[in-house]
Structure 1
Amino acid sequence: MLNYFLKRLLGLIPTLLIVAVLVFLFVHLLPGDPARLIAGREADAEVVALVRQQLGLDLPLPQQFWHYITHALQGDLGVSMVSKRPVSEEIAQRFLPTLGLTLSSMLWSVIFGMVIGVVSAVWRNRWPDRLGMTLAVSGISFPAFALGILLMQVFSVQLGWLPTVGADSWQHYILPSITLGAAVAAVMARFTRASFVEVIQEDYIRTARAKGVRESVVMVKHGLRNAMIPVVTMMGLQFGFLLGGSIVVEVVFNWPGLGRLLVDSVAMRDYPVIQAEVLLFSLEFILINLLVDMLYAAINPAIRYQ
């Protein structure tokens, strides 16, 4: 297990290097001149050239990349072109709101998704199954930005129950977490149902029932545990999606997180911030997948890694 873990950690290096190269090329292909945006529309060519020189954008691309990657390997992600603050401070300031939103969204979506999936599997082809799958399809089909606007209109504007923007209290998390977690809950429900339906048709489930084991024990102890392995995989992927893909929701609710920071950075062509955030999201996905692989062995002792 330890050797497998170390090999996967070493595999991070070439993956992140490839991501660094691709994102570096991507941000430099974006239309627009960051020096012009920072200098302002009224600035003349000399001022823009001076700003470009201060930012290091006048250097050849290979030299810019070498400067970027050598500093990144030393833990220096650069300085924001807009705020003039270290990129690490910008990300650290925005990370906790995004993490809190992600955890709250993941918590309720996993609980509701798994409950709906198990209920639909146990009473499949009956009204609880049809109702649950109708809710799941609706959750997947409804766009996040439209759901967020609808929730704000109903619960903030008309009823006045919940705040619309900001992250100052727990009430601020309710609407964004529902918006962000709706699609995840729908995916979890459908995936849990499919996995559970397959498991409850296995021979060991029929054997447990034949021995007179209570149905609730059969479903939870024998059925749910064995159905959890593919579900855990989906949970890991969905958590990575939530952590890195909350951009739309953060924009709708003006959430002070990484997604909002990324949108603002793209608009201002803030290259260091964009590169650091994409690298961070890539690292998160890799580490989450590694954690999911480790959880396999905890759920099913028969699984061993070499």
Structure 2
Amino acid sequence: MLNYFLKRLVGLIPTLLIVAVLVFLFVHMLPGDPARLAAGQDADQATVEIMRKELGLDRPLPEQFVTFFTNVIQGEFGTSIRSRRPVATEIAERFKPTLYLTLTSMVWAVIFGMAIGITSAVFRNKWPDRLGMTIAVSGISFPAFALGMLLMQIFSVQLGWLPTVGADTWKHYILPSLTLGAGVAAVMARFTRASFVEVIQEDFVRTARAKGLKEKTVIIKHCLRNALIPVVTMMGLQFGFLLGGSIVVEAVFNWPGLGRLLVDAVTMRDYPVIQTLVLLFSLEFILINLIVDLLYGYINPTIRYK
């Protein structure tokens, strides 16, 4: 497993290089002039040119990319055009609220999603199954921004129970986490149901029941572990999605996280922040997939890494 882990880590380098090239080209194709935005709309052309030179935007694109990638390798991510602060500082301040929001959303989404999925599989084609899958389809179909505004209207505006802006107390996490985790819970429910339905039909499950084991023991001890591998795969992908894809929810709730920072950076054409955030999100997905692959061996000891 150690050799497999090291090989996967080495494989990060070409992947991140490709991502760096693509995001660098993408941000430079965005309309708008970062130098003009940084200097101000009322600045004259001479001031804009001075700002462009200060930002290094007057150099050829290949030279800008080499400088950017060299600095990233050295752990230097540049200075934000918008705030004139180090990019690492900007991201560090915003990372914790996004991480806590993601973990909160993931915990309840996994618990409720798996519970609904297992219940639907056990009572397949009966009313609990139909009810659970109806809830799951509704969760997938309802847009996150619409759900967020609906929750704010009910629990903040009409009832006045929960706040809508900020991340100071545990109450601030309730509405954003419900909004962010609804789609994940729905996906987990459907995926868990499909995995359990397949496992329940296996011969070893029929044998366990024929031995007179209780249904609860059959489901938890025999079905759960064998059904977990595809579920864990989906869980890892969904966690990466939540961590890097909470942009809409953070914009709706004005959440002080990475998603909101990325929206502001794109608006201001803040190249260093955009490039660093996209690289960070890509690295998160790669590392999460690696962790999921390593968990396979723990869930099913018969799996061997080559």
TM-score for the superposition, normalised by structure 1: 0.99
Whole-Å Cα distance in 2 between the matches of residues 71 and 176 of structure 1? 35
| 1:56 Cα deviation from its structure 2 partner | 0.7
Q: Distance in 1 between matches of 2:242 and 2:161?
A: 25
Superposed structure 1 runs of 4+ greater than 6 Å apart? none
Report what 2:259 is aligned to: 259
What letter matches 2:109 in structure 1? Answer: S
Matches within 5 A, 1:251-290: 251-290=251-290
The answer for the alignment partner of 1:110 in structure 2 is 110
Q: Secondary structure at the match of 1:57?
A: coil
**2: distance between equivalents of 1:226 and 1:277?**
37
- Superposed CA offset, 1:46-79 (max 9, x none): 1111111111101111111111111111010111
Residue by residue over 1:224-264, the C-alpha shift from the partner in whole angstroms, topping out at 9 and shown as x without a partner, is: 11100100000000000000000000000000000000000
The offset of 1:175, in angstroms, is: 0.2
Letter in 2 for 1:88: A
Provide the C-alpha distance between the structure 1 equivalents of 2:176 and 2:291, rounded to a whole number of angstroms: 26
Structure 2: gaps spanning 5 or more residues = none
Q: Greater CA deviation, 81-90 or 136-145?
A: 81-90
Q: Which residue of 2 aligns with 1:69?
A: 69
Please tell me whether residue 246 in structure 1 is matched to residue 246 in structure 2: yes
Q: 1:132 corresponds to which residue?
A: 132
> 2:58 aligned with 1:58, yes or no?
yes
CA–CA distance in structure 2, aligned partners of residues 39 and 85 of structure 1: 16
Q: Quote how far apart the aligned CAs of 1:5 are.
A: 0.3
SS at match of 1:164: coil
Q: For residues 71 and 126 of structure 1, what CA distance do their matches in structure 2 show?
A: 59
Give unpaired runs (5+ residues) of structure 1.
none
How far is the alpha carbon of 1:40 from its aligned partner?
A: 1.4
User: What letter is aligned with 2:204?
Assistant: Y
Structure 2 residue aligned with 1:215: 215
- CA–CA separation in structure 2 for the residues paired with 1:281 and 1:116: 30
User: If the length of structure 2 is used for normalisation, what is the TM-score?
Assistant: 0.99
The answer for the alignment partner of 2:299 in structure 1 is: 299
SS at match of 2:175: helix
How many Å apart are 1:136 and its aligned residue? 0.2
In the alignment, the residues of structure 1 paired with residue 26 and residue 179 of structure 2 have an alpha-carbon distance, to the nearest angstrom, of 30
Rounded to whole Å, the distance in 2 between the matches of 1:212 and 1:126 is 24
Partner residue in 2 for 1:157: 157
Q: 1:41 offset after TM fit, Å?
A: 1.3
- What's the Cα RMSD here? 0.5
Partner of 1:171: 171
Partner of 2:88: 88
What residue is the counterpart of 1:237 in the other structure? 237
Residue 190 in structure 1 maps to residue 190 in structure 2: yes
1:141 aligned partner: 141
- Per-residue CA distance 1:77-128 (angstroms, 9 max, x = gap): 1111111111111100000000000000000000000000000000011100
Q: Percent identity?
A: 77
How far apart are 1:36 and its partner, in Å?
A: 0.7
What secondary structure sits across from 1:160 in the alignment? Answer: coil
**Is the aligned partner of 1:226 residue 2:221?**
no
Deviations 1:269-306 (A, max 9, x none): 00000000000000000000000000000000000102
Q: Does 1:42 align with 2:42?
A: yes
